[in-house]
Chains A and B, each alone.
Chain A
Amino acid sequence: MEDALGYVLGMSAIASSISVLAGIGTGIGQGFAAGKAAEAVGRQPEARGAVLSTMIVGCAVAETAGIYGLIVSLLLLFANPFVQYFI
């Protein structure tokens, strides 16, 4: 029984590290948004404030996908749903 629990915990650790790979997409998206915002400010320096707040909201929405990955990872590490079958 303890071997099976160890297997489940180890696999959960691997799965949790795979699930935070969702951060890759978030990183690319936020970098793209920041680059476009820098272009916009370069073209129209007087609209800096409006561009900045629009970019921050866009970045926050793009961040959600990465946060979902983080939450799946946290669930597997600290609130593992599979462990209850072994107790």
Chain B
Amino acid sequence: MQNFLDCDIIYSEGKFLYITGGGLNIDITNRNLWFLFEIGGEKVYITQSIFATWVVMAVLIAFAVFVRIKLKSFKQIPSGFQNMVETAVDAIANLTRTNLGEKFDYLGGYFFAVFAFILASNYSGLFGLRPPTSDIATTLALALTVFVLLHYFGIKMRKGQYFKDYLSPFFLFLPMNIIGEISRPISLSFRLFGNILGGLIILEIIYGLPVFVRFAMPAALHGWFDLFSGGLQAFVFTVLSITYISLQTADE
């Protein structure tokens, strides 16, 4: 470690890792590794966001199992907890049906899972975890899933027309169209990542202030960045992935 200009330059085993700013003790690039165990001389590390992802997954799986057990006592006329679950499922199912049509009702489960995972990840910042969506790896994985899905449905539903569209309006536009396709998962993942990470950094700066200066400010900012912006980004990610897939399945 070398002190220079109030910055710490962090090395690990002789390799440059990252620079921390003066006084700002946050691992922005998520390169703090936690040693887990060792297999045959190879050390296995996990990052903070992998740990947070596991917590979020555990909570979601526990909730799903809980709903499955409660499912037996569900009645014809819903009330209380059943009402809440049915409203949530209905909302995503309607969104899928109006955009993709009844043939793709089975995709509703996937979109609900994506929405629930992103929402739970964004809200996990309220419980002191580092939100998994503030790591580009998580959001890029989610966006690549959408990328694979939309090209799969494009080839399956439109066949020859799908490949012809790369040459529209005429053949010179081929590189342009390919770049456009590649930019989709990038914009989808960077939107979510930038929103959550930006909120995280601003909150971290506010937490660094003295208590009498930041009086009641973290609560308000958590409300804005985690509750409002986090919910909105989860919704936007789901709606945009539905829209991308509906563009591929629309004209048969």
Contact = CB atoms under 8 A, between A and B. Distances in A.
Interface of A: 2, 5-6, 9, 53, 56-57, 60-61, 63-64, 67-68, 70-71, 74, 77-80, 83-84, 87
Contacts of A84: 16
Interface of B: 4-5, 7, 9, 16, 18-21, 28-29, 187, 190-191, 193-195, 197-198, 201, 232-233, 235-236, 239-240, 243
Contact of A79 (B18, B193, B198, B236): B18
Contact of A64 (B18, B191, B197): B191
A2 B187 CA distance: 37
20 contacts: A5-B4, A9-B19, A53-B239, A56-B232, A56-B236, A57-B236, A57-B239, A57-B243, A61-B240, A64-B190, A67-B190, A67-B191, A67-B194, A67-B195, A70-B194, A74-B28, A78-B29, A80-B19, A83-B9, A83-B16
Contacts of B4: 2, 5-6
B189 to A, nearest CB: 10
Secondary structure call for the B interface = helix
Contacts of A9: 5, 7, 19
Contacts, number: 60
Contacts of A83: 9, 16, 19
Given A64-B187, A64-B191, A79 B28 contact: yes
Contacts of B201: 74
Contacts of A79: 18, 28-29
Given A57-B239, A64-B191, A67-B191, 12 more contacts: A9-B5, A9-B7, A56-B236, A61-B240, A63-B191, A68-B194, A71-B190, A71-B193, A74-B197, A77-B28, A78-B18, A79-B29
A83 B9 CA distance: 10
